[in-house]
A and B are shown apart, each in its own frame.
Chain A
Amino acid sequence: MGQRPDMLSYLVNRLLLTIPTLLGVAVLIFFMLRVVPGDIVEVKLRGDGGNPTQEMVEAERKRLGLDRPMHRQFADWMIGLATFDLGKSMWTEQPATEEIALRLELSLQVALMATVIAILLSIPLGTLSALLQGTWIDYAIRIFTIAGLAMPSFWLGMLTIVSLLYFFNWLPPLTYVPIYQDPWTNMAQLFWPALAVGYRYSAVVARMMRSSIIEVLNEDYIRTARAKGVYERLVVMRHAMRNAMLPVITVIGLEFAFLIGGLVVTEQVFNLNGIGRLFVQAVSRSDFTLIQALVMLSALVFILSNLVVDMLYAVFDPRIRYR
């Protein structure tokens, strides 16, 4: 009794708290970008070998609104945020939301698939490793997970591609097709990067799962359950795993948030048109509006994934109450 209303008010409170957090991020990124060197106008006009006159440079700065006082630009940015308008990319002159939407679907799908792969691999492997601590199975799993941690995802991606080419004379499709248009082509393209990323991801989570289970198995309540004659499977599944999941969920949440925008090299290896590549391009072109929009997206993903993690705590551990 009382859990659902408490949970709902907690959720509302957390969602309201995202507003000042995002506001802080928006203020920071706006001013930080204006402090670091780099001028989109210079890059645009001189970028292709041109030699614009000072008048052309000034005219372009005016057109992009960069000639106005900083506080006016900041006010526009804030008003835009309040109305969900992230502005136009200064490079392509397309709405930043369109530029992001073009790539977000792909990045989100890779992140989700990698997370599923990681969970499917890490939870059973981590648990098995903990339960069979010191056996050859434990050692084998530990080698598997250490290899995953040691091997960068992009390198595994390169190995995957070369292997597919060498053994099957086949490569993943080059152009992204949404899953609702052509599921087979979509999966054929994105499964491999998801696997490469998911392996490293699973290694991180499996090691966390193993240490967490080992710790929980030494708790008094586990000893009590065993003393009461509870089946070992129930001890592990109901008591040990549920409690061990809390730090594991935290790691999964953080890793997922990182994957949106953090897969720069893996995207290059698989030639994926994702958020990571867009981020690098935006920074190299000093495309302020697009960088701001991407940072806001990144912050939002981190906030939301943390919120989901907090919600899941309550699911896995009924002792946790949100007020």
Chain B
Amino acid sequence: MTMMRNLIGLAAGVALAGAMASGAEAQAPKKGGTLNFALSAETPHYDCHGSDTYATLHFASPFYSTLLQFDLPKYPAVKGDLAESWTIAPDQKSYTFKLHKNVTFHDGKPLTSADVKATYERLRNPAAGVVSTRKATFQDIDTIETPDPATIVFKMKAVNPAMMEHFASPWNCVYPGDKITADPQWPKTNILGSGPFKFQEHVKGSHVSGVRNDNYFRQGQPYLDGFKGTFFSQSAAMLNALQGGQVLAEFRTISSADRDRLVQAMGDKIRIEESSWTLNLLVVFNTKKKPFDDVRVRKALNMAIDRWGGSQGLARTSALRHVGGLVRPGSPYAIDPKELETFPGFQRDMAKARAEAKKLLAEAGVPNLTFVLHNRSIAQPYTPAGVFLVDQWRQIGVNVEHKQLETSPYLAGMSSGQFDVAIDFSNLFMDEPSLGLAKYVSTSKAPENRSFLESPEIDGLIAKQANMGDPKERIKVIRQAEKLILESSHQVPLLWWHRIVATNKSLMGWEMSPSHNLGQDLARVWINQ
């Protein structure tokens, strides 16, 4: 684990070096001002526990606290949020957290260990009708004890090497225990946290705003008087607002072309920070549907994709950049590029690969295959990725209709199996292989695997690596799983993303990371007016 952290820290440090070089953050924070920023999507509801989209976090994080949080300049190190201190049992079977005293919810009620317990009970064992997308993450927890209002103890069923990182997950918003006990659905439509900002208003389709929580438990924070996040449905409008100074940031990403435009227009008034990203796009084949139940068809379609060539072109117009396997390229458990080239879909000789792909389609009896590519209607990077895939498959004589849908129907279509082939996404908040590999566990156990493939062999390898303490041994098992998954081609990585965040130079204290889900509580953000 230590080795992994060091390596990841090094990789992240290199990526962020440019950003930190400015030294701007060394200035003493100034108080006051309202931060206007852009949100490129609007959350369908307010419940962090049941959400899988950054739209919820960028909206809700300023209102909530979590037990721990990532220490972004030292990523992937963690630090306390509600937890003031903690101890981990030598056998890693027990975690004891001491909470900050005098923490209150925005309605003035004190936050105690009972609230944290209720929150984690909801996460790991949600009541009927409640969706907890992180239910599987906390299955290693056996019991949660609250010996006193400021102490909480998690007793584990099994050792989980990434448990501290899971406690730092930004999705684990701590809710008032009495509210979620009385109505488990309460957080979907209500906001009441203990975070740096109090909820002010959400005008649907327009904006969300918050005001400073004067009783925030961290003395002196937040620095801002408030914030206002404006929803943009078109990236051009968002860029104009950024260029015109109407918003000071959009914290997810912009494309390389947009970055160049902003730099050219704004010169030294814009700050650009870049990092590789814990996010990738996947091509998913619906194995419940013919002819995608045939491995030859899936393999052929996978082999027709020129990832190496495509990454160069797509990097100029989209957030897609890095060719990689199942684990983020450059991170400690990533596959060596040379080894990757031996798998279908990652070969460099495209003429040969496409000839082989055509042969496989003919053998499968579908030489003139036609299908619909199910995609999301967010421009970056889904649209260029979809256009790219349609073109790649056209080159082996496959006719594809590109269908883009808004986030909710897009995800609903995939989860319910109403698609042929889809562009899916893997949205991780940190570089823990188990998180990324969870998407490849059989659909009956992991609904986020939308290929509907059932493979006890793959499941076994993924489960095995999760509890292995020795990184070298763990890498070997991960490679075995990766080989099986890429050969089966039921769900394959397309390209990994590259994160580019543009912020106005007057915005200070915000910290870049390889995940757009982290560091959005805005507690340490200030405006240099």
Instruction: Give residues in A with beta carbon < 8 Å to B.
Output: 38, 42-52, 55-56, 59, 91-93, 99, 102-103, 158, 161-162, 165, 169-171, 173-176, 268-271, 273, 277-278, 281, 284-286
Contact = CB atoms under 8 A, between A and B. Distances in A.
Contact of A49 (B128, B129, B244, B448): B448
Contacts of B510: none
Q: Which 5 pairs, one residue from A and one from B, show the smallest C-beta to C-beta distance?
A: A51-B447, A47-B408, A49-B52, A50-B131, A46-B415
A284 B128 CA distance: 27
A285 B409 contact: yes
A108 B154 CA distance: 57
B234 A92 contact: no
Contacts of B392: none
Interface string B225-250: 00010101110111011011011000
Given A52-B131, A56-B129, A285-B406, A47 B233 contact: no
B195 interface: no
Contacts of A102: 203-205
B460 interface: no
Contacts of A284: 405-406, 408-409
A176 B415 contact: no
B230 A175 contact: yes
Nearest to A158: B236
Which of B230, B415, B448 is packed against the most chain A CB atoms within 10 Å? B415
Given A48-B51, A48-B408, A171 B45 contact: no
A269 B236 contact: yes
A42 B205 CA distance: 22
Contact of B205 (A59, A103, A169, A286): A103
Interface string B242-262: 011011000000000000000
A48 B240 contact: no
Contacts of B415: 46, 49-51
A263 to B, nearest CB: 13
Contacts of B36: 174
Interface of B: 36, 44-45, 50-53, 56, 128-129, 131, 133, 189, 203-207, 228, 230, 232-234, 236-238, 240-241, 243-244, 246-247, 405-409, 411-412, 415-416, 447-448
A103 B204 CA distance: 10
B233 A286 contact: no
B53 A48 contact: yes
B416 A46 contact: yes
A44 B131 CA distance: 11
Contacts of B237: 161, 268-271
Given A42-B416, A50-B133, A59-B129, A271 B241 contact: yes
Given A165-B240, A284-B406, A46 B230 contact: no
B169 to A, nearest CB: 15
Given A49-B411, A102-B203, A176-B206, A171 B236 contact: no
Contacts of B230: 174-175, 271
Given A51-B447, A273-B205, A56 B128 contact: yes
Contact of B412 (A47, A93, A271, A278): A47
Contacts of B448: 49, 51
B411 A175 contact: no
A175 B238 CA distance: 13
A165 B265 CA distance: 10
Contacts of A278: 205
B443 to A, nearest CB: 9
Given A50-B447, A175-B230, 18 more contacts: A43-B412, A46-B412, A48-B44, A48-B52, A48-B131, A49-B53, A51-B415, A55-B128, A56-B128, A91-B44, A171-B246, A176-B206, A269-B237, A271-B233, A271-B234, A271-B241, A284-B409, A285-B408
Contacts of A268: 233-234, 237
B44 A271 contact: no
A169 B409 contact: no
Contacts of A93: 189
Contacts of B228: 175
A52 B52 CA distance: 14
Given A268-B233, A271-B233, A174 B241 contact: yes
A269 B236 CA distance: 8
B282 to A, nearest CB: 14
Contacts of A169: 244
A286 B408 CA distance: 10
A38 B406 CA distance: 13
A42 B206 contact: no
A191 B310 CA distance: 43
Contacts of A286: 409
A118 to B, nearest CB: 24
B262 to A, nearest CB: 12
A248 B441 CA distance: 65
Contacts of A103: 205
B13 to A, nearest CB: 31
Interface centre among A45, A48, A102, A286 (most CB of B within 10 A): A48
Contacts of A171: 240-241, 244, 246
A47 B203 contact: no
15 contacts: A43-B409, A48-B44, A48-B53, A49-B53, A50-B447, A51-B131, A51-B415, A102-B204, A161-B240, A170-B244, A171-B241, A174-B241, A175-B207, A269-B237, A270-B237
A268 B243 CA distance: 17
Contacts of A51: 131, 415, 447-448
A94 to B, nearest CB: 8
A102 B189 CA distance: 18
Contacts of A92: 204
A92 B232 CA distance: 19
B503 to A, nearest CB: 17
A42 B416 CA distance: 8
A277 to B, nearest CB: 6
Nearest to A278: B205
A92 B237 CA distance: 25
B430 to A, nearest CB: 18
Output the residue of B50, B237, B406 with the most chain A CB within 10 A: B237
B192 to A, nearest CB: 19
A266 to B, nearest CB: 11
Nearest to B131: A50
B103 to A, nearest CB: 29
A269 B50 CA distance: 32
B211 to A, nearest CB: 16
A47 B407 contact: yes
A272 to B, nearest CB: 9
A52 B135 CA distance: 13
A162 B45 contact: no
A173 B412 CA distance: 35
Of the listed residues B44, B128, B244, B412, the one surrounded by the most CB atoms of chain A closer than 10 A to its CB is B412
